[in-house]
């Protein structure tokens, strides 16, 4: 069933059911029923069609989180087109190449919303429901932008159907991590990140999507209690900030059926804290990528038995290869290659770049390094582009960052390699402190030396109040350098 048709069916079945709860930065809420969401999407679809959007087109949406942003996605699919979500605050020189790559027939920004969404802006459209446009299904619902580690713009064509079968999980991984129809779901990722698709998915599966205009630990905890949220989809920085909230121990989290995290390495202390908070059977990690070359899943129970693992492949075969393409034995670090079961070649495509490394038998890599244990559990070292070779020693930033975030004054940390005449690259840390907190480089150094071998301890530090990580938990390391 096409996404747009599914939304209309749900609106007919449960017109007064709440599809979306939007919480603004002050904590004020706006609810949208299925009937209201479908009517808004119909109105926007009709106006997109009037602007010339036809099946097979691509529509760029550079919008902040809002009810209208969510409705626009459904409107695009009702037109049979593909959605290209971008950051709403992306500077024009950065956005323009992506719009060109997409070959977009329409670019929707905040200033366009009134004309698309306002019921009074066009009397002949009004609140008319039942958009009677084409029923074509786009080849892919999304094109997701990625600058990668180099900053070179590209779009990733996601290997997803633009249809859903009621009563069946959209993705087999969902059943493993505790997803079910009718849940109340909070997905922390922004609309321009692939994980943000979860906001649409929870609606399509008959649930309620709780959307925060801006992530705030206290506001989210309030929403969890008030709306009895069942599923939390978080990135590690959000997990850390929630743990630092002084009220979390007294909050009612009994409605939570699963906490799912992905998108970035999770420090072990953070994982253990969440396992203690909600129970090992309710904590899950997914290791994958927008390209979806494969999936690994690990439960909290498995992780406690093998700390640090991201799990075993789900419908996925995994190989760890050396630079010459040879298979490495268990325990040795190499480049991770994955292949979805039954697929001879990867199904993703890049627009604006060549596909990444693929072996002759169809195992693909997105550049991550790691190793397998004897039982086939995967462990991540880091991305190859992030690896620091200092004095001939491999230093994986994620390990150093995990140690830094254990400091009670630290909200976030990033570790990069800086050119050095003696060491080749020296380890440099940029640390974001919590509001009202302070920490000196000397204190950070002592903290790290108590947890890391000398070769991994940063040789210099910068302390900041904003690391610059985006809402998806991603960080452009190339923009980090010592302040002095």
Cut 0.85: pTM above it: no
Predicted confidence band at 22 (pLDDT cuts at 50, 70, 90)? very high
pLDDT at 402 over 60: yes
Q: Measure the CA–CA gap between 404 and 267, rounded to whole angstroms.
A: 10
Answer yes or no: are the C-beta atoms of 286 and 299 closer than 8 Å: no
pLDDT at 469 over 70: yes
Higher pLDDT, 345 or 478: 345
Stretch among 9-13, 257-261, 393-397, 459-463 having the lowest mean pLDDT: 393-397
Strand partners, 296: 287, 313
Give the CA-trace dihedral at 130, 136, 140, 143, to 10 degrees: -60
Q: Measure the CA–CA gap between 448 and 81, rounded to whole angstroms.
A: 51
pLDDT at 484 over 50: no
Structure confidence by residue, pLDDT tens digits, 71-122: 999 999 999 999 999 988 888 888 898 999 999 999 999 888 878 877 654 4
Q: Measure the CA–CA gap between 166 and 181, rounded to whole angstroms.
A: 9
- Axis-axis angle for helices 34-50, 67-78 (nearest 10): 60
What lies within 8 Å, CB to CB, of 168 at 6+ separation is: none
Predicted confidence band at 174 (pLDDT cuts at 50, 70, 90)? confident
Predicted confidence band at 472 (pLDDT cuts at 50, 70, 90)? low
Q: Measure the CA–CA gap between 251 and 1, rounded to whole angstroms.
A: 39
The two structure tokens encoding residue 440: 């000196």
Predicted confidence band at 130 (pLDDT cuts at 50, 70, 90)? low
Give the CA-trace dihedral at 383, 385, 386, 392, to 10 degrees: 110
Stretch 226-253: mean pLDDT:
93
Q: What's 146's DSSP letter?
A: E
What lies within 8 Å, CB to CB, of 18 at 6+ separation is: 31, 32, 33, 34, 208
Residue 425 has, within 13 A of its CA and on its CB side, a CA count of: 20
pLDDT at 475 over 80: no
């Amino acid at each position: 069933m096409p996404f747009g048709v599914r939304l209309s069916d749900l609106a007919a079945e449960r017109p007064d059911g709440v599809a979306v709860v939007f919480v603004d930065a002050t904590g004020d809420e706006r609810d949208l029923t299925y009937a209201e969401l479908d009517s808004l999407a119909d109105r926007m679809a009709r106006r997109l069609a009037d602007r010339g959007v036809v099946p097979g087109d691509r529509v760029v949406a550079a919008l902040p989180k809002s009810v209208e942003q969510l409705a626009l996605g459904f409107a695009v699919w009702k037109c049979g087109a593909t959605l290209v979500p971008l950051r709403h605050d992306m500077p024009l020189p950065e956005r323009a190449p992506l719009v060109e790559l997409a070959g977009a027939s329409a670019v929707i920004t905040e200033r366009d919303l009134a004309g698309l969404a306002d019921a009074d802006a066009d009397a002949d459209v009004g609140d008319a429901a039942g958009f009677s446009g084409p029923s074509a299904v786009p080849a892919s619902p999304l094109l997701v932008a990625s600058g990668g580690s180099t900053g070179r713009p590209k779009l990733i064509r996601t290997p997803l159907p633009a249809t859903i079968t009621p009563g069946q999980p959209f993705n087999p991984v969902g059943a493993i991590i505790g997803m079910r129809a009718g849940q109340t779901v909070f997905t922390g990722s922004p609309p321009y990140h692939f994980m943000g698709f979860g906001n649409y998915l929870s609606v399509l599966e008959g649930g309620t999507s709780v959307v925060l205009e801006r992530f705030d630990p206290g506001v989210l905890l309030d929403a969890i209690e008030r709306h009895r949220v069942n599923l939390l989809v978080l990135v590690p920085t959000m997990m850390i900030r929630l743990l630092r909230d002084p009220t979390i121990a007294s909050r009612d989290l009994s409605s939570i059926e699963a906490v799912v995290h992905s998108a970035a390495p999770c420090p072990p202390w953070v994982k253990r804290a969440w396992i203690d908070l909600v129970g090992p059977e309710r904590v899950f990690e997914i290791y994958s990528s927008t390209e979806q070359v494969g999936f690994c899943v690990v439960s909290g129970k498995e992780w406690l038995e093998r700390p640090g693992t991201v799990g075993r492949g789900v419908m996925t075969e995994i190989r760890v290869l050396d630079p010459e393409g040879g298979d490495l034995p268990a325990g040795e670090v190499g480049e991770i290659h994955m292949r979805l079961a039954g697929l001879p070649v990867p199904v993703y495509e890049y627009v604006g770049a060549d596909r990444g490394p693929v072996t002759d038998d169809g195992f693909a890599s997105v550049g991550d390094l790691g190793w397998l244990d004897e039982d086939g559990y995967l462990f991540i070292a880091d991305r190859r582009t992030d690896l620091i070779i200092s004095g001939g020693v491999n230093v994986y930033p994620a390990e150093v960052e995990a140690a830094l975030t254990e400091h009670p004054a630290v909200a976030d940390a990033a570790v990069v390699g800086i050119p050095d005449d003696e060491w080749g690259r020296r380890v440099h840390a940029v640390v974001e402190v919590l509001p009202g907190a302070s920490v000196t480089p000397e204190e950070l150094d002592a903290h790290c030396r108590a947890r890391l071998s000398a070769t991994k301890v940063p040789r210099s530090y910068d302390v900041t109040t904003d690391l610059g990580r985006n809402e998806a938990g991603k960080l452009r390391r190339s923009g980090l350098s010592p302040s002095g």
